[in-house]
Amino acid sequence: MRLHTYFRSSASYRVRIGLEWKGIPREDVFVDLASGEQLGEAYRAENPECRVPLLVDGQIRLTQALAILEYLEEKYPEPPLLPADLAGRARVRQLALVIIADTQPLQNTGPYEFLRDPLGLDDRARFRWYQHWVSRGLGALEAHLADDPRTGHFCHGDTPTLADLAMVPQCSNARRGAIELGQWPTVSRIYESCIELQQFQRAAPEAQPDAKP
């Protein structure tokens, strides 16, 4: 499998954890989002969304981290990243989408840049935006996790699921943005559990060959 990736992309990070969890070897193709490589003609021909990750598996070409992870789960069911029961799978997808649909897109590089140019907002206003949406998303996740007996050592039970793969890159991002994770104690506790695992460590931004200081 070939993964078009960027070390700091949250969506790439999610897919990297999934591949590491399932022990699937990959060949990385690095796309330098910092220099705008994703917007050039060469990458646009690969992926018209001009985003990473892009997974190429033989004839199959896939974008969108959650679609890629569902594909990997179906093709390589073991070790699983979704629970065995219907209600559990639904809960895990719900938790993942709180981040993937309602949080991460709002604070992604593209929108964050657009607030500056062309919309003309200064860094203070932009940080207010960033902080608001990240806090709202992680706060909603905390509320879902805190009082539910299905929450365990991880978001759902005692092994990681797609919910943890969605949450961890958002937490790393929040910490980089000087947002205190401790205000969401369950999120914070689960984040610490995840980043102790070698699969999460190998997938982390700082462990990638294209990482920059």
Other C-beta atoms lying within 10 Å of the C-beta of residue 159: 15
Residue 16 near residue 203 (C-beta atoms within 8 A): yes
* Residue window 7-46: x/- pattern of binding to a copy of itself, with contact defined by CB under 8 A: ----------------------------------------
Q: Which residue has the tokens 């220099």?
A: 35
Cβ nearer to a copy of itself, comparing 87 with 209: 87
**Which of 42, 84, 87, 178 is close enough to bind a copy of itself by CB under 8 A?**
87
Residue 3 pairs in a beta bridge with 28, 55
Residue 156 interacting with a copy of itself (CB under 8 A): no
Residue 66 interacting with a copy of itself (CB under 8 A): yes
Residue 176 interacting with a copy of itself (CB under 8 A): no
Q: What are phi and psi of 192, to 5 degrees?
A: -65, -35
* Residue 91 CB, nearest approach to a copy of itself (Å): 8
| CA–CA dist 179, 176 (Å, integer) | 8
The 3-state DSSP class for residue 3 equals: strand
Cβ nearer to a copy of itself, comparing 16 with 91: 91
Residue 4 pairs in a beta bridge with 29, 54
With contacts defined by CB under 8 A, name the span among 2-10, 22-30, 58-66, 168-176 that binds a copy of itself: 58-66
Residue 97 interacting with a copy of itself (CB under 8 A): yes
Nearest to 96 by CA among 163, 146, 154: 163
Q: Return the exposure string of 71-103: e unless at least 16 CB atoms fall within 10 Å of the residue's CB, then b.
A: bbbeebeeebbbbeeeeebebbbebbebbbeeb
Residue 89 interacting with a copy of itself (CB under 8 A): yes
Query: What number of chain residues touch a copy of itself (CB under 8 A)?
Result: 47
Residue 157 DSSP one-character state: B
With contacts defined by CB under 8 A, name the span among 19-27, 60-68, 193-201, 203-211 that binds a copy of itself: 60-68
| CA–CA dist 104, 8 (Å, integer) | 13
* Residues numbered 116-155 forming contacts with a copy of itself, rule: CB under 8 A: 118-121, 125, 128-129, 132-133, 139-140, 143-144
Other C-beta atoms lying within 10 Å of the C-beta of residue 63: 18
Cβ nearer to a copy of itself, comparing 128 with 176: 128
Binding site for a copy of itself (CB under 8 A): 48-51, 59-60, 62-64, 66-68, 70-71, 74-75, 86-87, 89-91, 93-94, 96-98, 100-102, 104-106, 111, 114, 118-121, 125, 128-129, 132-133, 139-140, 143-144
